[in-house]
A and B are shown apart, each in its own frame.
Chain A
Amino acid sequence: MVLEATEMTLNTTELLAIPLLPLLGALTAGLFGWFLKERLSHIITSGSVILAAILSVHVFLQVLDGAEFYGNFWTWIASGDLVVQIGMMIDPLTTIMMMTVTVVSACVHIYTIGYMHGDPGYARFFSYISAFTFSMLVLVMGNSFFTLFFGWEAVGLFSYLLIGFWFKRDSANKAAMKAFIVNRVGDFGFAIGILAVWYYFGTVDYREVFAQVQGLVASGSTMSFLGWEMDTITFICLALFVGAMGKSGQVPLHVWLPDSMEGPTPISALIHAATMVTAGVFMVARLSPMFEYSEVALAAVVIVGAITAFMCATIGLVQNDIKRVIAYSTCSQLGYMFVACGVSAYSAGIFHLMTHAYFKALLFLAAGSVIHAVMSNQDIRKMGQLRKYMPITYITMLLAGLALAGIPPFAGYYSKDLIIEATYARGMGWTSEIAYYALMSGVFMTAFYTFRMFFLTFHNSDRVPAATKSHLHESPWVITLPLVILAVGAVVAGYWGYHYMNMADEVIVDGYFRNSIFVMDAHNSIAMLEMLEEDHTQSHFWLEYGAFVLAVLGILTATLMYFKETKVPAAIAKTFRPIHTFLYNKWYWDELYDFLFVRPIQKLGQFFWQTGDLRLIDKGMIHGGIIGTVKNGAAMLKNIQSGMVYHYAYAMVIGVFGLLTYLMLNA
C-alpha cells in the first residue's frame, strides 16, 4: 500500500490510527449522539482522542530516536496530469505538532465534560471538537500541499461551526460569519499560492517541490502579478503567507480572532489559542525550504509579525472582557512566532508555539472555570477576590500568567526570550530592528495586561454582584484536572524543551528538528546569537536580561495599579483619554472595515438583489426569457410526442435523411 518510505519507518497502522481515531469518535458522536446520550458520547470521543494522544507521544519518542516516515497511502483522484495522493510526512516538526495538538485536545475534551454538561448540543459539540482534532492532525501530518489545504479548510469549517455553536445567539452567528469571511480573504491567497506551486513545480508533494526550489530560484524565474514583476518564489511565499495571516490572526486580518470568543470557552482554548491559529506558523516552518529563498517574503513575515505583536498587545492593555484580553494576547504572541520564523529562527517559533499552546490553553480554560463560577459573566470589572472561592483555578492561572509574562523558569521565558534574542542577532537591517523594539515593548505590555486581568479577577476589591455571590464555587474535578495537567506543561515545557530537547540548537541537524527545518547559513540567526554571546568584548546584559527586566517591570506596574483597588487606573485613563479611547476601540479596525468593505458590499449586494436579481433576472428573463423558452420547448416536445407510431417513424426517417443530406453536401 505504501508506495515509498524512508529508512527507519514507523508503523503505518499506528500513524493512520492517530487521525482516524478522532474521526471515528466524531462520526459516532455526530451520527448517533441522539442515541448515545451524554455519557457515551463523551466517553467515545474523549477516549479516542486520549488514545490518539498516547499514540502521538509514542510516535514522538520513536522520532526522537531517529525514525521518520514519508509515504503515500492512497490515490484519491488521478485525472490526466493531476494526481492527488493522500500521504504522510512524519518528522520532528510534525511530531511536536501532533503531540501538542492531541494533548491539548485531550485536556479540552475532558474539560468539556464538565463545562458543557447539560447543553442540548452536548454530543454535537463533542463530535465537532473531535472532528476538528482530526482535521488539525491531517493538516500537520500530510505530505503535500493538498493535505495541507484539506486540513486548513476543514479546521476553518469546524472553527466556524464551533464559534457559532450557540446558533440561537445573534452575536455568535455574526462572529462565526466574520471568522469565516475574513478567513476567506486569507484562504484566497493561500489557494493562489498552492495553485502557483502546482503551476510552477507540476506537483504538490512537499519533497518534490522542495527539491525543485533551488532550481527555480537559480533560473531567475519571475512572474508578473497585476503588472507587478517579482520573483516567482517570492510571489508563492507571499501568497501562502496571506493565508497564514488569515488563519493566525495577523494584522490586518486579525479582526475575527477576538470576536471568535463568542464560542464556548473550550473552543477558545483548543482552536483559537493552542492549535488552529498556530497553523500559519507551522506552515511557514514546514515550508522553510521555500521561504528561505525569498528575502522579501521573510521581511514581510517579520514586519507583519512585529506589527501584530505590538498592536494587539496595546489593545489588550485596556480590554475588560476576560476572554478578549487573552484573545488579543494570542494575536500578539502569534506575532512573536511569525517574527521568529521571519528571522529564520523557525525552531524558536515552533518552540514558542508549543509552550504557548500549553499556557495559553491553560489561561483560557482557567478563564472558563472563572466564567463558569460567576454565571457566564465575562467582565473583569464585575469580578475580584475570587481566589478565596477557587484556589485551584487561582494557582493554575497564576502559573499560566507567569509563563505568558516570561518569568523564569516557566515555559514562556525560554521560548520568548529566544525569539527576542534571535531577532536582535539576526541583523536584517531596519526590519529586524523595528521588530526587536516592538517585541521588547510587547514584553512589558504582555506582563502588564496579564497581571492586570489576573489581579482584577482574583485580588482587588470584591465587585461580584450579590446575585451571583451564592453561586461561587470551585469547579468540579473534570474541569480542574485538565487545568492541573496543562499547568505542568506550562511550568516545565520550556525548561524541558530548551535543555533536554535542544529545540533551540543553532545547527538544525544537531538540534531537535534535524532536517525537518531548512535554514540557510546566511540566515541562521540562532548561530549568530551564539557567536554574539561568545564575544566577551562587550556587555550582553541588556540582550540577555532585558526582556526579563521588562517583564518584571510590567508585573510591578500592574501590581501597583491593580493589586489593591486604587484610583490610579481611572486617573491615567482620564489623563490620556484619546489614547485610551483609541486602544479601547481596538485602533478602530472594525469601524475601518465597516466603512471600507462591509457597507459598500452591502450596498452592492442590495443593488444586485433589487435590480439584478429581482428586476432583471426574475421579472425580465425568467418570466419572459429563459424559463419561458424552456417551458414552451417542453410543451412543444410534449406535443410532438403524440403517441402515434407513424409520427415517431417519421421523426426517425427525417433524422436519417437530414443527416444524409448534410453528409452528401459536405462530403
Chain B
Amino acid sequence: MAEVVFPFPFPENLELILPEIILAVMGMVVLLMSVFLSVSRQNIVAGVSIATVIAVGASVLYVSGSDASTTFYGYFVLDPFAVYAKLLIAIATVFAMMLSLNYVKDEANVGEYYTIMLFASLGMMLMVSATNFVTMYLGLELMALSVYVLVGYQRDVLRSTEAALKYFILGALSSCMLLYGLTFLYGSTGSFIFTEMGDIISNSGEDQRLAVLTGMLFVLAGLSFKVSVAPFHMWTPDAYEGAPTPITAFMSVAPKVAGLVVFMRILVDVFPGLQAEYTTILMFLAVLSMAVGNIAAIAQRNIKRMLAYSTIGHIGFILLGLIAGSNDGYAGILIYMTIYLFMTMGVFAIIIMMRRDEIQGELLDDFAGLSRVRPGYALAMGLLMFSMAGIPFLGGFWAKYAVFIAVIEADHIILATLGVLFSAIGAFYYIRIVKYMYFDEERVSFNFAKSAPLQVIVVLTTLVIVAIGIYPEPVMAMCRLALAGLV
C-alpha cells in the first residue's frame, strides 16, 4: 500500500477554522434534513440552524487565543479582531434566524432558506479572517451570492425578484470593479497577501504610483458597494424593500460587519503608504453617505426603505472612524457596529411583529397610535429610535460619540461638524416615528403576531441598548481589546 502523500505539508493549527467547518458541514446537513422532514416538521430545521450558529459562536471563542494565530500557510488568521467580528456576525445571524421563524414558516423550501443563511455567514467569516485578496474574494462572493438568493427568496413576489435581480446585476458590476482593481495591484506588487503588498506599496517608486492608486480606488469602490456607501448605495433601498424582512435585518448588519472589517484590514495592511490619498476618498464618500442617507430618509413612507437610507447614513458616520485612522477611530467602528446590530435587530423585530394578514406593517402610518394599543412595544420602539438618533444616554449616543471624538482628535473638525449636523437632520425622521406612535390617532387596528422569539429579541435588544447607554465601558473596553489584532 502506498502511503498517501499530500502535495503540501499538512496545514498546522487547522482547528482555527473549526467554526467554518461546522458551518459548511451543517449547511449541507440542514439542506438534507429539510428534504427528508415532512412539511409540518420543518421548524426542526430552523432550530438546528440556530443551534448551529450558536455552536459556531461558542467554537469561535473556544479556538480563539489572546494572540493572532494563522493557518493554511498564513492565508487565514484568527486574531481578537476577527474573533470579535465573527461573534457579531454569529449574533446577527442568530437574531435574523429567530426573526425568520414565523416569517418563512408558511413558505416552501424552508431548508434552502436556512442553508443559504448558513453559507452566507460562512462567507462572511472567511472574509474577516482573510489575510490575502484570494481568501477575501472567495468569502465575499460566497456571501454575496447567498444574499442575492435570499433577497429573491419569495419567488412569486414581483417586488422580491425584481430586487434580487437588480442587486445581482449591480453586485456583479461591483465585483468587476473589485477584480479590476486587484489586477492593477497584483500587477504592481506581484502579491496577493495584504502585508506583503503593503510593504511593497510603501516602498514603491513614483512610476508605480498611478497604477496602485487606480487599483486602490477600484478596490475601495467594490467594497463600498457591499457596505452601501454612497454613491454605490443605489441598490440598497430597493433590495431592502423587496427582501423578506428578516433578510433585510440580516443584510443590514452582518455583511456590513464583514465588509467593514475587510475595509479596516485592507486600509491598515495594504495601503498604509497611501493614507493621505485614501483619507481624501473616504471623506468624500463619508460626507456623501451621511448626506444621502439622512436627507433621503426624510422623504420615505416605507419604513424598510427609510431604514435602508438610515443604514447608508450610519455607514457614513462609521467611515468617520476610518478617516480618523487612529486606534480610537477603529475601536469606534467596532463600538458603532455592536450597538447598531442591537438597535437594528430590535427595530426589525417590531416591524415583523406588525405584519398582519393583509398589511405588511411597513408604512410609517401603520405606527400611528401604537402607544395606546401596545405601550410596551411603543416604548421599546421609541427607545430604539432615540438611540438611532443618538440621544444620550442610550447606546446610539456612545456609538456616535466614539467616532466623532476620534475624528475630532484627528483634527477633522469640519467633518465632525458636518457629522453632527447630519445626525441632527437624521434625528428628525427617527423621532417622527415616536411622534406617530405617541401623538397620532390609531388608523388601522393592530393585530400583533404573538411570537416568543420576537418578543425576546425586542426586550433583549432594548435592554442592551439602555444598559450600554448607562454603562458603556465594558463594550468599549471589549472593542479596544479586539483591536489588538489589527494594529
Contacts and interface: CB of A to CB of B under 8 A. Distances in A.
Contact of A652 (B170, B281, B284, B297): B170
Nearest to B305: A641
What secondary structure prevails in chain B residues at the interface with A?
helix
Contact of A643 (B230, B238, B296): B238
B232 A655 contact: yes
A602 interface: no
A647 interface: yes
Contact of B221 (A630, A635, A638, A652): A652
Given A659-B217, A663-B217, A75 B473 contact: yes
Contact of A634 (B221, B238, B295): B295
A633 B174 CA distance: 27
Interface string A610-649: 0000000000000000000011011101100101010111
B266 to A, nearest CB: 16
B214 A660 contact: yes
Interface string B207-240: 0011001100110010001000011101101100
A78 B331 CA distance: 13
A80 B281 CA distance: 28
Contact of A664 (B210, B231, B292, B477): B210
B349 interface: no
A664 B209 CA distance: 10
A641 B405 contact: no
B277 interface: yes
Given A78-B476, A656-B177, A663 B225 contact: no
B166 A648 contact: yes
A78 B401 CA distance: 13
A77 interface: yes
Nearest to B180: A656
Contacts of B218: 656
Nearest to B181: A656
A660 B166 contact: no
Contacts of B299: 631, 634-635, 637-638
Contacts of A596: none
Contacts of A79: 405, 476
A630 B295 contact: yes
A660 B277 CA distance: 11
B281 A659 contact: yes
Nearest to B214: A660
A651 interface: yes
B448 interface: no
B221 A667 contact: no
Nearest to B237: A641
B234 A648 contact: yes
Interface string A504-542: 000000000000000000000000000000000000000
A635 B477 CA distance: 42
Nearest to A82: B405
A630 B232 contact: no
A123 B307 CA distance: 41
B473 A78 contact: yes
Interface in B162-187: 165-166, 169-170, 173-174, 177
Given A75-B473, A648-B166, A654-B231, A80 B296 contact: no
Interface of A: 74-80, 630-631, 633-635, 637-638, 641, 643, 645, 647-649, 651-652, 654-656, 659-660, 662-664, 666-667
Interface of B: 165-166, 169-170, 173-174, 177, 209-210, 213-214, 217-218, 221, 225, 230-232, 234-235, 237-238, 277, 280-281, 284, 291-292, 295-300, 328, 405, 409, 425, 471-473, 476-477
18 contacts: A76-B473, A79-B476, A80-B405, A634-B296, A635-B299, A637-B299, A638-B300, A641-B238, A643-B238, A645-B169, A647-B234, A648-B234, A649-B169, A649-B170, A652-B173, A652-B225, A656-B218, A659-B281
Given A634-B298, A664-B213, A667-B209, 9 more contacts: A74-B473, A77-B473, A77-B476, A79-B405, A638-B299, A641-B234, A648-B235, A652-B231, A655-B231
